[in-house]
Amino acid sequence: MPPDGGKEPLENLKDKLRSLFGNKEPRKNKDGLPPKARFSIWYFLVAFLLFSYLQQSLFSAKVETIPYGQFKQYVAEGSAGDLTIGPENITGTLKFGEREPDQRFTTIRVNDPDLVKDLDERRISYTGHYESKFLRSILSWVIPIGIFFLIWRYAIKKMGPGMGVMSFAKSKAKIFAESETKVTFADVAGIDEAKEELEEVVGFLSNPGKFQKLGGRIPKGVLLVGPPGTGKTLLAKAVAGEARVPFFSISGSEFVEMFVGVGAARVRDLFAQAAGQAPCIIFIDELDALGKARGMNIMGGHDEREQTLNQLLVEMDGFETNKGVIIMAATNRPEILDPALLRPGRFDRQVLVDRPDINGREAILKIHSKDVLLAPDVDLRKLAGRTPGFVGADLANLINEAALLAARKNKETVEPADFDEAIDRVVAGLAKKNRVMNPQEKEIVAFHESGHAIVAESVEHADPVHKISIIPRGIAALGYTQQQPTEDRYLMTRSELLDRLAVLLGGRVAEELAFEEISTGAQNDLQRATDIARSMVTEYGMSDRLGLVTYERPRQAMFLPESFSPNKTYSEEKAGQIDEEIFRVVEEAHQRVRGILSAHRDVLNDLAHLVSQNEVVRGEELRKMLGKTSAG
**Widest distance between CA atoms in the chain:** 146
Q: Which amino acid is at 31?
A: D
Q: What is the DSSP string of 420-459?
A: HHHHHHHHHHHHTTT----HHHHHHHHHHHHHHHHHHHHS
Q: Is the CB of 27 or the CB of 182 nearer to Mg ion?
A: 182
313 with 346: CB under 8 angstroms?
Answer: yes
Q: Is the CB of 357 or the CB of 621 nearer to ligand ADP?
A: 357
Q: Is 251 in the site for Mg ion (CB under 5 A)?
A: no
Q: Is 372 in the site for ligand ADP (CB under 6 A)?
A: no
The catalytic position among 286, 449, 581, 615 is 449
Q: Is 191 in the site for ligand ADP (CB under 6 A)?
A: yes
Q: Is 240 in the site for ligand ADP (CB under 6 A)?
A: no
Q: Over the range 436-466, which residues count as b (16 or more CB within 10 Å of their CB) and which as e?
A: bbeeebbbbbbbbbbbbbbbbbbbeebbbbb
Q: Is the CB of 236 or the CB of 267 nearer to ligand ADP?
A: 236
User: What whole-number distance in Å separates Cα of residue 452 and Cα of residue 499?
Assistant: 11
Give the number of residues written for the chain: 632
User: What whole-number distance in Å separates Cα of residue 275 and Cα of residue 78?
Assistant: 81
The 205-244 contact track toward Mg ion, x by CB under 5 A, reads: ----------------------------x-----------
Residues between 4 and 23 with contacts to Mg ion, criterion CB under 5 A: none
Q: Is 398 in the site for ligand ADP (CB under 6 A)?
A: no
Range in contact with ligand ADP (rule: CB under 6 A) among 33-41, 102-110, 315-323, 391-399: 391-399
Q: Is 543 in the site for Mg ion (CB under 5 A)?
A: no
List beta partners, residue 374.
Answer: 414
Q: Is 189 in the site for ligand ADP (CB under 6 A)?
A: yes
Q: Which does 525 bind (CB under 5 to 8 A by kind): Zn ion, ligand ADP, Mg ion, none?
A: Zn ion
Q: Is 604 in the site for ligand ADP (CB under 6 A)?
A: no
Q: Which does 263 bind (CB under 5 to 8 A by kind): Zn ion, Mg ion, ligand ADP, none?
A: none
Q: Is 451 in the site for ligand ADP (CB under 6 A)?
A: no
Q: Return the DSSP state at 370.
A: T
Q: Is 393 in the site for ligand ADP (CB under 6 A)?
A: yes
Residues between 288 and 347 with contacts to ligand ADP, criterion CB under 6 A: 330
Range in contact with ligand ADP (rule: CB under 6 A) among 224-232, 241-249, 290-298, 338-346: 224-232
> How many residues of this chain bind ligand ADP (CB under 6 A)?
17
Q: Which does 190 bind (CB under 5 to 8 A by kind): Zn ion, Mg ion, ligand ADP, none?
A: ligand ADP
Q: At what angle do helices 601-614 and 572-599 cross, to 10 degrees?
A: 80
Q: Is the CB of 399 or the CB of 456 nearer to ligand ADP?
A: 399
Q: Dihedral (C-alpha) 234, 235, 237, 241: value to the nearest 10 degrees?
A: 130
User: What whole-number distance in Å separates Cα of residue 557 and Cα of residue 606?
Assistant: 49
Least CB distance to ligand ADP at residue 341 (A): 18
41 with 148: CB under 8 angstroms?
Answer: no
Least CB distance to ligand ADP at residue 463 (A): 30
How far is residue 191 from each of residues 197, 232, 358, 440, 513, measured CA to CA in Å? Answer: 10, 10, 11, 27, 35
Least CB distance to Mg ion at residue 288 (A): 12
Reply yes or no on whether 242 is catalytic.
Answer: no
Say if residue 303 is exposed, middle or buried (CB neighbours under 10 Å; 0-12, 13-18, 19+): middle
Q: Is 181 in the site for ligand ADP (CB under 6 A)?
A: no
Q: What is the CA radius of gyration of the chain?
A: 42
Q: Which of 460, 380, 435, 450 is nearest to 612 (CA)?
A: 450
Q: Which does 265 bind (CB under 5 to 8 A by kind): Zn ion, Mg ion, ligand ADP, none?
A: none
Q: Is 507 in the site for Zn ion (CB under 5 A)?
A: yes
Four-residue CA torsion sign, 270, 276, 279, 280: negative
Least CB distance to Mg ion at residue 330 (A): 6
Least CB distance to Mg ion at residue 624 (A): 39
568: left (phi over 0), alpha (psi -120 to 50) or beta: beta
Q: Which amino acid is at 631?
A: A
Q: Which residues are catalytic?
A: 449
Which residues contact Mg ion (rule: CB under 5 A)?
Answer: 233
Which residues contact ligand ADP (rule: CB under 6 A)?
Answer: 188-191, 228-234, 330, 364, 367, 392-393, 396
Which residues contact Zn ion (rule: CB under 5 A)?
Answer: 507, 525
